[in-house]
Amino acid sequence: MKKLLPTFFSLTVLTASAQAPEGMLADVTHAPAPTAGATPTDAPAILELVSFEAYVSGPEEKVQLRWATASERAHERFIIERSSDLEAWSPVMALDGEGHAAAYTRYEVEDPGPLEGVSYYRLRNLENGMSVELSDLFSVRRSSSQLLQILPDRSPGHFTVEADGPMTDVLLMDNRGQFIPMTLDIRDDRVLVNAELLAPGTYYVQAVVNGSPVQRPVIITGTTVIGG
């Protein structure tokens, strides 16, 4: 299975000027100037984001999200949002900050319901009851490989492709990405493949399962087939 690495975009903290119209992002980089007679310790802490990233982990392709701050205000609340099209965003979870005014703090959580294919994540926080954007976007790709299985048959070069749901558009490719024309015996949620005439090597089965594109590697040797 070929995996695409997550795409990282540079991390910035977005701000708006004091004259920004209603609905613009609030300033999260500078604390208000102290009032007359106040000591430096009276100044509220600022929220300083150091990093944010999302990545796919393990054979089950779980999506982990982690970020770090250098300082926080009291009663900070972080919100992770996810999108599949960069237009509609939905909250994944919310987490209360630890509120350290001047300390490096790390957070790590897991998306309980990650999407198949490409999805995008961003980190926000609540400030005065408004959701304020903190990070740039981070994208990940889940291959949905767990939806597709390669099962070797007793005959050399023969194998069965099984899917966890409706399967369509089944194709076989070589390791250069070229499709191999061949007749496939498609039977609902399984496909019987006769590849005994193919040269030994690594190939890829591509299909659409439950509406999501899936690709799995398959190794054909002179005596057996090994599913990736």
Span 154-158, mean pLDDT?
82
| Third-level CATH fold of 145-227 | Immunoglobulin-like (2.60.40)
What residues contact 100, with CB distance under 8 A and at least 6 apart?
69, 71, 72
The residue that leads in pLDDT, 3 or 219, is 219
Closest among 211, 222, 16, 191 to 116, alpha carbons compared: 211
Residue-wise pLDDT tens digits, 11-23: 333 333 333 333 3
Q: Are 7-142 and 145-227 in the same CATH fold?
A: yes
The CATH architecture annotation of domain 7-142 reads Sandwich (2.60)
What pLDDT, on a 0 to 100 scale, did the predictor assign at position 228?
57
Each domain of the chain, given as residue ranges in start order, spans 7-142, 145-227
- 3 Cβ partners below 8 Å, 6+ apart? 56, 141, 143
User: Which residue reads 């193919």 in tokens?
Assistant: 198
Q: What is the pTM of this model?
A: 0.49
Lowest mean pLDDT, pick from 151-155, 206-210, 224-228: 224-228
Is the pLDDT score of 29 beyond 70? no
- What's the average model confidence in pLDDT over 96-107? 92
- Higher model confidence: residue 54 or residue 163? 54
